[in-house]
Amino acid sequence: MLLSAADIEVLCTGAVRSAVAAVCVFRAHPAPARAAVTGGVDFLETSTGKIARGATPEVAALFLQVIDESGGRVGLEVSGGIRTASDAAPYLALVESMLGAGWISPDRLRFGASALLEDLVRVAGTGSTR
């Protein structure tokens, strides 16, 4: 069954009411992401990381457009398939190009990728994460 944009907006708004920090994962259409922002989410997330298809630059760009339209009042969490510093770099560049380097901070941009930490430590040459 295909959901209409209105159905998705209702589902997302319901999720917002039941969570302190809500996450909405939508592909290829900005309306549900806009509804989530209007509904009060703290972050838009590209993927839960628990589904077959993870983050894509296309979805991140769509979410960044919605975030820009909102005045940057919500954050972005990029997750799903981000395992290395090289995987994360294009997303950092995308955020910088769309919202500026000053927008990048831990309270606005997050990577939901536990494997990424290990690689960042390796790249930085600081030893282990433990």
CATH of residue 36's domain is 3.20.20.70
How many Cβ atoms are within 10 Å of 20's Cβ, its own excluded? 7
The answer to whether residue 130 sits within a structural domain is no
Buried b / exposed e over 66-91, threshold 16 CB at 10 Å, is bbeeeeeebbbbbbbbbeeeebbeeb
User: What's this model's pTM, rounded to 2 decimal places?
Assistant: 0.73
The answer to whether residue 107 sits within a structural domain is yes
* Average pLDDT for 32-47: 83
The answer to whether residue 14 sits within a structural domain is yes
Range picked from 6-15, 56-65, 115-124 for highest mean pLDDT = 56-65
The answer to whether residue 61 sits within a structural domain is yes
The answer to whether residue 129 sits within a structural domain is no
Pairing outcome for strands 109-112 and 75-79: parallel
* Average pLDDT for 9-27: 48
